[in-house]
Amino acid sequence: QVQLQESGPGLVKPSETLSLTCTVTGDSISSYYWTWIRQPPGKGLEWIGHIFNSVTPDYNPSLKSRVTISVDSSKNQFSLKLTSVTAADTAVYYCARRVVAATNWFDPWGQGTLVIVSS
Amino acid sequence: DIQMTQSPSSLSASVGDRVTITCRASQSINTYLNWYQQRPGKAPQLLIYAVSNLKSGVPSRFSGSGSRADFTLTISSLQPEDLATYYCQQSYRTPRTFGQGTKVEI
């Protein structure tokens, strides 16, 4: 059974870079798309982007200039980098697998990690 | 971007009640519509994919229907463990977008 676990600093200073890693167990990272989604406290869900192997990732246009998603197949991990963060980037960040069949959906999700942007 | 609009934003119902949540897309998304359940303090979990397909293990009291731009999530007999926020999500176009959520209180 595939499981995902986010890791990374819980506190990032304004203007710095947020870096998170998602470790995938129970499945090969090479077989699926992998996704980052975030949720500001008390608010809804925002799709950040996804990646398949080392194919050019797809990003949310609202974040595209600041986001990089990459895969490390040797560690079965994928990562998120978000540059020039502000308080608006404070959120719980989730990683998830994107399942592609006749349509596509996100399943499963990691437990999420809260990142606070503050000096 | 495709806008997803859910209604109501919140509802309160009793155990055993039939609950209906609607989700409207700003354009036709065919069957590219998924539902997620987020219990308090937890990560979202897939409930229904492709409009009406229950994820394995999801109770049969949950069902989904709809087409093109209008969709419905129904809980046929509300249970205490259904306390959660429910989100619809379109997987038709990038960027993937979610509804604002419907909070279900018991």
**Residue B59 to residue B38: CA distance in whole angstroms:** 15
| Sequence-ordered list of residues with C-beta below 8 angstroms from that of A44, at least 6 positions apart, any chain | B87, B98, B99, B100, B101
CA distance B89 to chain A (A): 9
**A18-25 sheet: strands from edge to edge:** A3-7, A18-25, A77-82, A67-72
pLDDT of residue B17: 97
| Sequence-ordered list of residues with C-beta below 8 angstroms from that of A56, at least 6 positions apart, any chain | none
Residues belonging to chain A with any Cβ–Cβ distance to chain B shorter than 8 Å: 44-47, 58, 60-62, 94, 99, 101-112
Enumerate the residues of chain B whose CB falls inside 8 A of the CB of residue A101.
50
Q: What confidence tens digit (pLDDT) does each residue in A32-54 have?
A: 999 999 999 999 999 999 999 87
**What one-character-per-residue DSSP string does B68-104 give?**
TTEEEEEESS--GGG-EEEEEEE-SSSSPEE---EEE
| Sequence-ordered list of residues with C-beta below 8 angstroms from that of B17, at least 6 positions apart, any chain | B77, B78
Q: What is the largest CA-CA distance in chain B?
A: 38
pLDDT of residue A55: 84
| Contact across the interface for A47 and B44, Cβ inside 8 Å | no
User: By C-alpha distance, which of A87, A89, A85, A100 is closest to A35?
Assistant: A100
Nearest C-alpha in B relative to A104 = B91
pLDDT of residue A102: 84
Mean per-residue pLDDT pooled into runs of 10, chain B (106 residues): 97 97 97 97 97 97 97 98 98 97 97
Angle at A20 between CA A14 and CA A23, to 5 degrees: 170
pLDDT of residue B85: 98
User: By C-alpha distance, which of A65, A119, A116, A70 is closest to A89?
Assistant: A116
pLDDT above 90 (res A31): no
Q: What confidence tens digit (pLDDT) does each residue in A52-103 have?
A: 987 889 999 999 999 999 999 999 999 999 999 999 999 999 999 999 888 9
User: By C-alpha distance, which of B54, B45, B52, B50 is closest to B86?
Assistant: B45
Indicate the average pLDDT of chain A: 95
CA distance A116 to chain B (A): 17
A45 vs B44, B50, B55: nearest CB: B44
